[in-house]
């Protein structure tokens, strides 16, 4: 993995952890996701128009098919993630999602896209996945064993985390193929896919406009922050995918767990600091192995 790709991933990880903490604090649902998509459309419209005025007219059915697929997968990912944040702790849902997602996407890239990975790279994937699952489970699961309420909360977090990870893997492979093979603009595939997300999420708002208006007044600041920074994080990752194998980039993204573990746990008061630090060290070692491998 090149130094440039590695730096893009680290910066994206910091931004990604930050906006997930904001989304957790918002405690939103599909309507919050719609607010994100709506504000994202407005905030990034000048850049989308500037880049798309020449490239988008050249797109054919294949390119538009990938845009639609990307938008649909991102909707499922985000709505499930938000529901997980309402039902369980961020320090369970987020690591499980970020751990299972790259594992699945790396396996797909190796098995179906013909990418190769060295022994050191394989150890790196193991370190990343082991680290995030340590943060999510381990002591928390043992402590919850004799507390039915805590146990159910942890189990819900694990289920929502893994389900989120499935959609992370799916959109990573779809978007990675679009930017690496079809050579589509990373910015445009995310921006145009946002219109798909907007359309799919609109019914959640239209079903109950008075409630949506109330939620807007409470959540719009959180939604605006996520709309501004979350595309930056993901577009940086897509640019990294152009320079490095998807099977390396996907797990290396989990450097975000370093920030989520050390910052998010403190801000949200979810405990298990020692386990988070140990898991973060595993992730750091795994990401380093991927960068060298």
- Tens of pLDDT, residues 122-180: 787 788 777 766 765 555 555 555 667 767 777 788 888 889 888 988 898 899 899 98
Q: Which residues lie closer than 8 Å to 66 by C-beta, 6 or more apart?
A: 174, 175, 177, 178, 182, 184, 189
165-222 confidence digits (pLDDT tens): 889 888 988 998 999 899 999 999 999 999 999 999 999 999 999 999 999 999 999 9
Place of tokens 């939604």: 223
Question: Burial code of 252-271, b = ≥16 C-beta within 10 A, e = fewer?
Answer: bbbbbbbbbbeebbeeeebe
Rg of the Cα trace of the chain? 18
* pTM score: 0.78
Rounded to 10 degrees, the C-alpha dihedral 139/257/74/12 comes to 180
Q: How many CB atoms lie within 10 A of CB 274?
A: 9
* Assigned token pair, 20: 């997930």
65-97 confidence digits (pLDDT tens): 999 999 999 999 999 988 998 888 776 787 777
User: What's the rounded Cα separation, in Å, for the pair 253 and 113?
Assistant: 19
Q: Which residues lie closer than 8 Å to 6 by C-beta, 6 or more apart?
A: 240, 252, 291
In which region does residue 48 sit, left (phi positive, over 0), alpha (psi from -120 to 50) or beta (all else)?
Answer: alpha
SS3 107: helix
User: What's the rounded Cα separation, in Å, for the pair 287 and 82?
Assistant: 27
């Amino acid at each position: 993995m090149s130094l440039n790709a590695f730096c893009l991933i680290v910066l994206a990880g910091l931004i990604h952890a930050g906006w997930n903490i904001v989304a957790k604090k918002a405690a939103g649902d599909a309507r919050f996701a719609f607010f994100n998509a709506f504000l994202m459309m407005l905030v990034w419209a000048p850049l989308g128009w500037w880049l798309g005025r020449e490239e988008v007219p050249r797109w054919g059915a294949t390119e538009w098919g990938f845009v639609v697929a990307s938008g649909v997968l991102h909707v499922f990912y985000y709505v499930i993630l938000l529901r997980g944040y309402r039902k369980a702790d961020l320090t369970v849902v987020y690591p499980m999602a970020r751990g299972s997602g790259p594992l699945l996407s790396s396996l797909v890239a190796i098995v179906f896209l013909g990418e190769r990975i060295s022994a050191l790279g394989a150890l790196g994937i193991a370190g990343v996945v082991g680290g995030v699952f340590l943060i999510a489970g381990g002591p928390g699961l043992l402590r919850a064993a004799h507390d039915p309420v805590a146990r159910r909360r942890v189990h819900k977090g694990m289920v929502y985390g893994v389900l989120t990870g499935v959609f992370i893997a799916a959109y990573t492979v779809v978007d990675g193929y679009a930017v690496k093979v079809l050579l589509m603009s990373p910015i445009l595939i995310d921006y145009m896919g946002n219109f798909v997300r907007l359309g799919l999420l609109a019914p959640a708002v239209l079903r109950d406009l008075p409630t949506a208006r109330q939620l807007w007044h409470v959540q719009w600041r959180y939604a605006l922050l996520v709309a501004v920074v979350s595309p930056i994080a993901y577009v940086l990752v897509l640019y990294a995918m152009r320079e490095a194998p998807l099977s390396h980039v996907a797990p290396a993204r989990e450097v975000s767990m370093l920030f989520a573990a050390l910052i998010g746990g403190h801000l949200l008061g979810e405990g298990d600091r020692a386990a988070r630090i140990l898991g973060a060290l595993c992730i750091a070692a795994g990401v380093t192995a991927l960068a060298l491998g």
